[in-house]
Chain A
Amino acid sequence: MSMFNETDARALLDKVVKLSKSDECTATLEGKVEGNVRFALNTVSTSGIVSDCTLAVNAAYGKRSGTATTNAFDDASLERVVRRAEELARLAPENREFMPALEKQAYRPSATFYPSVAAITPEYRAQVAADSIGPCRAEKMVAAGFLADGQEFTAFANSKGNFGYQRSTSLDYTCTVRTADDRGSGWVGRNVGDVSEFDAKSAIRTAMTKAAGSVDAKALEPGKYTVILEPEAALGLVTFMMRFFDAREADEGRSFLSKRGGGNRLGEQVFDSRVSIHTDPWDPAVPVLPWDQDGRPREKLAIVDKGKVTHLDYSRYWAKLKGARDTGQPGNFIMAGGDKSTADLVRSTKRGILVTRTWYIRMVDPQTVLLTGLTRDGTFYVEDGEIRYPVKNFRFNESPVIMLNNVEEFGRPERLAGGFGSRLLMVPPMKLRDFTFTSLSDAV
């Protein structure tokens, strides 16, 4: 069995915590069932189902702690895993940054579980593949895509009486469509809560339209351009930057949020005043678990408010050392935007480049969060409010910090997942000036 209900999970965890003779004990039980189908060249290449459930036991004596895990849940196995964790704790070096187990917390549940996703069958997955492949085959295009769905639960209990249990589901679909002659490429991605929000037959049309429209791309000179980044194109840049909202790194002088002379830039205006980012585990569009990986309760928090940095991530240790508020790390990022669609942003553009998607983004200089990467799967020249023609892909060297100071306009945010880190996000399409393209790519 890989999925436990709350009653069974609590009973098992309570039993484990009671078995421990250590100063402190935290037990975590996590189970999942994941299914997927992968297709390429208009045929299914692989598909599978993986289920797993693991109990992790962390025991601590003073500032020494040890962790052991098992996937067998009979009484003898539970006793064994507790004793092993205790033994490892006794052997471990003392950690002067050790933090004691959390006191009892109040977690407000969030709506992360969709029964429709948990009920997905192999036949449904095969149908998604068929619905993606069929239209492409009919129009001499080639589909390659991946559907991954899953249900999981997380439960934990500790010797101070803290306990949490919640189930969640996930459904993520991506598909790349190329013209049969390899001259055009398009892409579509969908990350949804409920199955009813996803329709492969209509999604695939987006990728097909992009593929057909990107044939015979013209070369433009690299340089600084006004760009309209679709939400997916902005995702990688924004999430890469959000990795560096760590208070300790900033305080240590090795982050773009470090202050010259020491300290961090919390409270400073770092971005354009139209940039606001908050986190909210209960937001119905992007619900996430109400606790972070340390079990700390998540809160609704402003991270960037009208361009000012209002929140940095503190580890429990760093928060204690610095006297900062100890809050759970965000599980989602919600960027503020406007009401306009990507098409509306195009219509108001005199001259610019519309970017479908960005790719292979890597850090060039952490000092400025200078990133490099490329456009792909549909890059278009816009003039006088209309898409004129497809253009060859560009390599960019741009910092999201600079980019978010060059804002022309934001559109209506859309739900996305991934980028760098496994969070859910709401990201708007963005019109930005002076985006730096440094070379051309012949890749289609």
Chain B
Amino acid sequence: MDRRDFLTIGGLGLAGLALPFGARAVAAEELLSALDVSLKRSLADAALEAATKAGATYCDVRVGRYLRQFILTREDRVQNVVNTESTGIGVRVILNGTWGFAATSDLTKAGASAAATQAAAIARANSRVQAGPVQLAKVKGAGTVNWSTPLRTNAMAVPIKDKAELLLAVNAAAMKAGADFVNSNLFVVNEQKYFASTDGSYIDQDIHRIWAPFTVTAVDKASGKFRTREGLSSPMGMGWEFLSGDPSGRHVMPNGVVNYSTAYDMVQDATAAAQHAREKLKAPSVKPGKYDLVLDPSHLWLTIHESVGHPLELDRVLGYEANYAGTSFATLDKLKSRFRYGSEKVTLYADRIQPNSLGAAAYDDEGVPTQRWDLVKDGILVNYQAIRDQAHIIGEPSSHGCCYADSWSNVQFQRMANVSLAPGQQKMSVADMIKDVENGIYIIGDGSFSIDQQRFNAQFGGQLFYEIKNGRITGMIEDVAYQIRTPEFWNSCAAICDQGDYRMGGSFFDGKGQPSQVSAVSHGSSTTRFNGVNVINTARKLG
């Protein structure tokens, strides 16, 4: 699912047929309740027992309640408010060394047992074409534990009226500042996930995420030209406090552009966006060629996501995603040969523990404690992202804790952890970085993105582009996209700003798998310089 598919819920016609994830629409007050833990435990135990009885050597059960709220607006109008809830049980077993999975929305012990029995039958049927038995890395049973996203205010508890008023204020600010059109949306997600396994784990987690994107459009009717500018914030693993507009989240760039970290002033950004969109209508077109790029974290997160996060997913490397998401250039032999992924300045790490990140949790969806580990250390490839049935392939004693399913009805599999670029060790501000650049482009915000199925060749756009000449920002330019070959790009990394500039970007809807599942993941970095990158001009003329 991509963003656009998700947003088609804005056009709900026949009483909500197009609800995402097969979820039910519910009243807002239902988003505040949770399933009783003792019920979840009894359902899980029923499934574990039935699976064992059916001959499974391993079983895990996820009793999940997935809540989502979307508010969609344009200009002075609330287009739609949708609350959805989806509750059910997913059971995964190993039988004859083969995985089997079944899911049910029947929240009774009989329903849970039947799903377990069906999962066992599927495993038995598939074992006849299984090449080799599943090998699970050991994990210690967690016992009975729970974890929640640290929140100051649960966004689900904020009245819809307050949310709609905020979005309409955002739209009004954009229109006042010169926008012709503005769409603003709010997405709030709460995953109430109960995990139990034959390893002796009963893990109850309550995970929250929030995203408030907008798009401002400026039109020049006379020339027929139109330009957009999207919001510069990021989806976060936070509550309503993220939208407080607290000044602590403001980061003012050397050219006056304001970026945001852990607090977002959406109204202020919408005002700036309208001004930027109008400025883009008149900005000169880029001259194609080689430039030194200075990439803001609001932009670089997506380049990290596509050119590091995805190629270092072990299931891609092995070929499990060959028919959909693709494979990877970063093959296993490159791990052995200590492949130089980037320059010595480049350390890229994975984690599911960064506070406020989209990937933050205490345990993954197969009961493994989350952690932080290096993928690229001082430029050298040192590891991948692996789950329990993959760890043995790269000689790791345990899973990295990055297994995830987007609902109870989908089977969990390896998903990207947060993958971030470590900040520079030397003190360096963005202004310090720019003053050394002779011929460059400063890029803020994420835009168009495309990468090949092995993650070699990528092309990225952005929201805002500024020309840098002899250490100074001269003004806005347009029609910029850069093309990279992944290892050359990361080896051209010449400087990284220090921790003071570190911010996270992220994806709310990262798609993978068949049937496709989405996941949410953050990517942190400080502003980073890459030398001699190929920039193309994207302006065309239609007849």
Contacts and interface: CB of A to CB of B under 8 A. Distances in A.
Are A and B co-members of a single complex?
yes
Given A146-B514, A441-B452, A443-B329, A50 B409 contact: yes
A254 B226 contact: yes
A48 interface: yes
Contacts of B164: 93
A440 B455 CA distance: 13
A30 B453 CA distance: 36
Given A43-B131, A362-B450, A443-B452, A58 B78 contact: no
Contact of B27 (A87, A361, A362, A366): A87
A395 B4 CA distance: 23
Interface of A is mostly: strand
Contacts of B181: 252, 254
Q: How large is the interface on B (under 10, 10 to 19, 20 to 34, 35 or more residues)?
A: 35 or more
B319 A41 contact: yes
The 8 A-B pairs with the shortest beta carbon distances in the complex, nearest first, are A58-B15, A260-B224, A443-B454, A144-B322, A441-B457, A294-B13, A443-B452, A293-B13
Contacts of A178: 319, 322, 327
Interface string B261-288: 0000000000000000000000000000
B454 to A, nearest CB: 4
B538 A46 contact: no
A295 B66 CA distance: 29
B223 A71 contact: no
Given A252-B219, A395-B483, 9 more contacts: A36-B515, A45-B99, A45-B320, A48-B101, A144-B322, A293-B14, A366-B228, A395-B452, A443-B455
A69 interface: yes
Interface in A113-141: 122-123, 126, 129-130, 133
A444 B171 CA distance: 46
B515 A148 contact: yes
Nearest to A26: B15
A40 B320 contact: yes
Contacts of A58: 14-16
A44 interface: yes
A399 B539 CA distance: 11
Interface stretch (B18-26, B148-156, B184-192): B18-26
B81 to A, nearest CB: 7
B459 interface: yes
A275 to B, nearest CB: 13
A402 interface: yes
Interface in B74-91: 77-79, 81-82
A367 B13 contact: no
B461 interface: yes
Interface string B316-356: 00111111101101010000000000000000000000000
Contact of B129 (A122, A126, A154, A373): A126
B448 interface: yes
Contact of B323 (A40, A295, A372): A40
B102 A48 contact: yes
A291 to B, nearest CB: 9
Contact of A43 (B15, B18, B81, B129): B129
Contact of B450 (A27, A145, A156, A374): A374
B66 to A, nearest CB: 14
B264 to A, nearest CB: 24
A155 B223 CA distance: 47
Contacts of B409: 50
A124 B346 CA distance: 50
22 contacts: A28-B16, A36-B515, A38-B514, A43-B131, A45-B99, A46-B101, A50-B103, A52-B105, A95-B78, A182-B331, A253-B180, A253-B224, A261-B224, A293-B13, A365-B540, A368-B539, A372-B459, A376-B452, A442-B456, A443-B329, A443-B455, A444-B454
B456 A364 contact: no
Contact of B16 (A67, A123, A402): A67
B320 A253 contact: no
A142 B318 CA distance: 11
A68 B16 CA distance: 8
Contacts of B101: 46-48
A442 B17 contact: no
Interface string B492-519: 0000000000000000000000110000
A42 interface: yes
Contacts of B483: 395, 438-439
